Amino acid sequence: MNRRNKPTGIRMLITIWAMLLICAVPIPAFAAQDEQAAVAEGVTIKVNGEVVKLSEPVRGLDGRLFIPVALVAGMFDAKISWDKDNEEATIQTAHGDKIVLGNGVPVVYFNEGRYRMDEAPFVAEGRMYIPLRHVAELLHAEVNWHAKELTAELIMVKPAVVAENYGLAQISEEYGSSKTELLKRNGLDSADGIVEGTELRVVVPSILANKAEPFTEKDLQLLARITEVESGHESYEGQLGVANVILNRVKNSKFPDTVREVIYSGKQFPPAHNGQLDKAKSDAISLRAAKDALNGKNNVEDAVYFFNPAISKGSFWSGLTVITTIGHHSFAK
């Protein structure tokens, strides 16, 4: 494989896979978190040329191949733990990287950074699935797609070892990544600390070019508290919806453009004006809902209002377009 053409090769993999799936496997629209992607029949996974016996099926969704994250982590000698309360998988890779993935959350925590994936992981039949390309890159591997055989081959890539005549410049040229990309991938600010014997990780995950929008700890805590006050009696999904109404307003030109200003302006959030919010404390569920919302998990797209239809009456509320109802709240625009 020509390393310099690696990114193009991966894009071709995705394109070919999409065409094959369209022809061979019907893919349902992923409209709800619990809606399962189609099982990708007939697909073989190889690691370093060896066929892997799959205990769980691979799946296809939106033209991409998804694989159980625990399965692929085991292939690469990575350690994985599952937080059932927050539905998060934490992976410690063989190369010292830390990866945190949330169910339905498009943002992945990778070492000290947060990056947005083009498809969020999802849970199906008790297993978390992640796009094959993303997980391979994060675990320091390349992917080759063999269309005729419907086979995805993962190739483990060893770190490059710096030698006397084999430094950052030579490694950059060989692997088709810029020196800046390699430094960033290895958590280095400059080449000053690179000496003979230094191991450099050379697979640069494509997500590193897509940093997630930052948020502050103050925003997280405030969003969690207002979510608790307004919907602490609701399910996680209901609380996620309330948190997202606030974030949808931040993005909407008709409303203020910060979390704090949205919460403290207008009449939607009375607790912000009667002192109740200032005294409130978030619990684990409201904190998870706020964090997931800030990380891009949105179950009420475009909704900028929520209300209890049994309580909120009148022409204003009845004139809104309800997007969905979760628990006691309707979410509308």
List the structure tokens of 329: 């709240």
Give the per-residue pLDDT at 11.
41
Side chain identity at residue 39, one-letter code = V
- pLDDT tens-digit profile of 282-298? 999 999 999 999 999 99
Burial of 158 (0-12, 13-18, 19+ CB in 10 A): exposed
pLDDT band at 240 (very low <50, low <70, confident <90, very high): very high
Q: Which helix (H) or strand (E) holds 138?
A: helix 132-138
Give the per-residue pLDDT at 105.
98
* DSSP one-letter string for 196-238: TT-EE-----GGGGSBPPP--HHHHHHHHHHHHHHHTTS-HHH
CB count within 10 Å of CB 234 equals 20
Give the per-residue pLDDT at 36.
57
Residues 6+ apart with CB under 8 A from 247: 223, 259, 293, 294, 298
pLDDT of 93 higher than 90: yes
- pLDDT tens-digit profile of 203-239? 999 999 999 999 999 999 999 999 999 999 999 999 9
Q: Which helix (H) or strand (E) holds 8?
A: helix 6-24
Give the per-residue pLDDT at 16.
37
Sign of torsion, CA 214 253 120 101? positive
> In sequence order, what E strands does 32-112 have?
38-39, 44-47, 50-51, 59-61, 64-68, 79-83, 88-92, 98-102, 107-110
- pLDDT tens-digit profile of 243-296? 999 999 999 999 999 999 999 998 889 999 999 999 999 999 999 999 999 999
pLDDT of 18 higher than 60: no
Is the domain spanning 3-156 CATH 3.80.10.10? The answer is no
Mean pLDDT score of the chain: 88
Architecture of domain 160-209: Roll (3.10)
Sequence ranges of the domains in the chain: 3-156, 160-209, 217-332
pLDDT: which is higher, 234 or 33: 234
> Among 70, 129, 84, which residue's Cα sits nearest to residue 288?
84
Give the per-residue pLDDT at 193.
85
Q: Which helix (H) or strand (E) holds 166?
A: none
Give the per-residue pLDDT at 5.
40
- pLDDT tens-digit profile of 115-169? 999 999 999 999 999 999 999 999 999 998 888 889 999 999 999 999 999 999 9
pLDDT of 3 higher than 60: no
Burial of 27 (0-12, 13-18, 19+ CB in 10 A): middle
Three-class SS of residue 300?
coil
- pLDDT tens-digit profile of 49-74? 999 988 889 999 888 899 999 999 98
Give the per-residue pLDDT at 32.
34
- pLDDT tens-digit profile of 20-31? 333 333 322 333
Mean pLDDT, to the nearest integer, of 190-202? 94
> In sequence order, what E strands does the chain have?
38-39, 44-47, 50-51, 59-61, 64-68, 79-83, 88-92, 98-102, 107-110, 113-116, 122-124, 127-131, 141-146, 151-156, 160-161, 199-200, 305-307, 322-326, 329-332
pLDDT band at 94 (very low <50, low <70, confident <90, very high): very high
Contact 34, 141 (CB under 8 A): no
The two counts, helices (H) then strands (E), for the chain are 11, 19
- pTM here? 0.85
217-332, what's its fold?
A: Arc Repressor Mutant, subunit A (1.10.10)
Length of the chain: 333
Domains 3-156 and 217-332 equal at CATH topology level:
no
Instruction: Give the separation between CA 169 and CA 191, rounded to whole angstroms.
Output: 10
